[in-house]
Amino acid sequence: MLPVNSTTAFFSTFLVTGIPGLEAVHIWISIPFCAMFLITLVGNVTVMTVIWWEQTLHVPMYLFLAMLAASDLGLSLFTFPTMLRIFWLDAREVTVSACFTQMFFIHTFQDFESAIILAMAFDRYVAISRPLHYSSILTNSVIARIGLAIVSRTLTVQVPPPILLRRLCFCRSNVLSHSYCLHPDILRLPCSNTRINSIFGLFVVLSTMGLDFLLIILSYVLILKTVLSISSHGGRLKALNTCVFHISVVVVFFTPMICLSVLHRFGPRLPSHVYVTLANMHFLIPPVMNPIVYVVKTGQIQDKILKLFIKKGPEESQITFTP
């Protein structure tokens, strides 16, 4: 703690927290988390690589999936290493600048993922309700504009929070509730007025993930309306089957986030392990599950992965490399 003047002081570092009550077994807990991190890296990099190299996969559904994999990868790179550092080295100290930087990137990739999931819901709506016009509506230029809009919106709302936090004095406590820096968690610590920060933070949540969630619900209401208008029972099942795994992604991503945000701002003070569990579910589970779900679901990606990574036979190899 560094003195500023005779009456005010501030912390130059924050202390992140592991899993409360289980500090003695952090080394053992690190094993499944390390496995999850490796699965996340391998799974998402594989999905991105396959979609990048295979021209036949350069269609809206798979381009959005590649964006989702990139977002999951970014989110994982700014969460898992910090947790493993705590589990392995008991290194809990994080400088204020590093904490604000981590917070910015975590929430940025969080917003990216939310917007991409919305884009994927729109993709499913167009595919089911306008199948004959699908390729003319979702062209490559439209996908590029959607991607640019996602980046622009996210940076517009995520750049101000770290700047607004810089004006606050952190002298009450420097212990965070999570293993990484989150905006609502940091706002509990200042001894100066946080009203502006809190209002802006709530606005960011409602105008990004909150709005995305409502639009996703609207998309699925319209999808359900279209599906119910299909006369064939088999056709209805086939249409719904294309959405089942996307719906699971929506539930896994949004449910813990909504609960965590509401509890931090309006709920009663609960045991710390409740917040830790919800945060870990929101930030760690989707990056692990998404590539597994979509690879298992999508036969085309499975075929391309096998084609890309399984060694070719001698005859095929000779044909491929003959000048």
Task: Bin 181: left if φ > 0, else alpha if -120 < ψ < 50, else beta.
Answer: beta
Least confident segment among 228-237, 245-254, 269-278, 285-294: 269-278
Which phi and psi (to 5°) does residue 298 adopt?
A: -100, 110
Proportion of the chain above pLDDT 70, given as a percent:
88
Amino acid 263 reads L
pLDDT above 90 coverage of the chain, percent: 39
pLDDT in tens, 136-169: 999 989 999 999 999 999 999 999 999 999 888 8
Mean confidence (pLDDT) of the chain: 83
pLDDT of 250 over the 80 cut: yes
For 21, 89, 106, 119, 204, the CA distances from 156, given in Å and listed in that order, are 39, 36, 15, 19, 10
DSSP 78: T
pLDDT digits (tens, 9 = 90+) for 164-175: 998 888 887 889
What distance in Å separates the CA atoms of residue 283 and residue 281, rounded to the nearest whole number? 6
pLDDT of 105 reads 96
Residue position matching structure tokens 């491929």: 320
Q: Give the pLDDT of residue 246.
A: 80
DSSP state letter for 139:
-
Only one residue has tokens 């705590």, namely: 86
Only one residue has tokens 């294309």, namely 242
pLDDT higher than 60, residue 67 = yes
**Predicted confidence (pLDDT) at residue 128 exceeds the cutoff of 70:** yes
* Distance in angstroms (rounded) separating the CA atoms of residues 310 and 182: 41
Sequence letter at residue 279: A
- Averaged pLDDT, 282-311: 78
Residue 173 has a pLDDT of: 81
Question: What does the pLDDT look like over 11-63, one tens digit per residue?
Answer: 788 999 888 777 788 899 899 999 999 999 999 999 999 888 888 888 888 89
pLDDT of residue 10: 67
**For range 207-213, the mean pLDDT:** 92
**Which pLDDT band holds residue 267 (cuts at 50, 70, 90)?**
low
pLDDT attached to residue 197: 92
Report pTM: 0.85
For tokens 């080295």, what's the residue?
89
Q: What pLDDT, on a 0 to 100 scale, did the predictor assign at position 265? A: 63
Domains along the chain?
11-308 (1.20.1070.10)
Structure tokens at 302: 């499975």
| CA distance to 186, 295, 319, per residue, from 304 (Å) | 44, 10, 19
At residue 268, the pLDDT reads 61
Q: Which distant-in-sequence residues (6+ apart) come within 8 Å of 141 by Cβ? A: none
State the Cα–Cα distance between residues 48 and 109, nearest whole angstrom.
Answer: 16
CB 69 within 8 A of CB 120: no
pLDDT band for position 319 (50/70/90)? Answer: very low
H or E stretch covering 182: none
DSSP for residue 210: I
Give the ranges where 54-130 is alpha helix by DSSP (H).
60-77, 80-89, 96-129
Let me know: does 131 contact 229? Beta carbons within 8 Å. Answer: no
130: how many CB neighbours lie within 10 A of its CB?
13
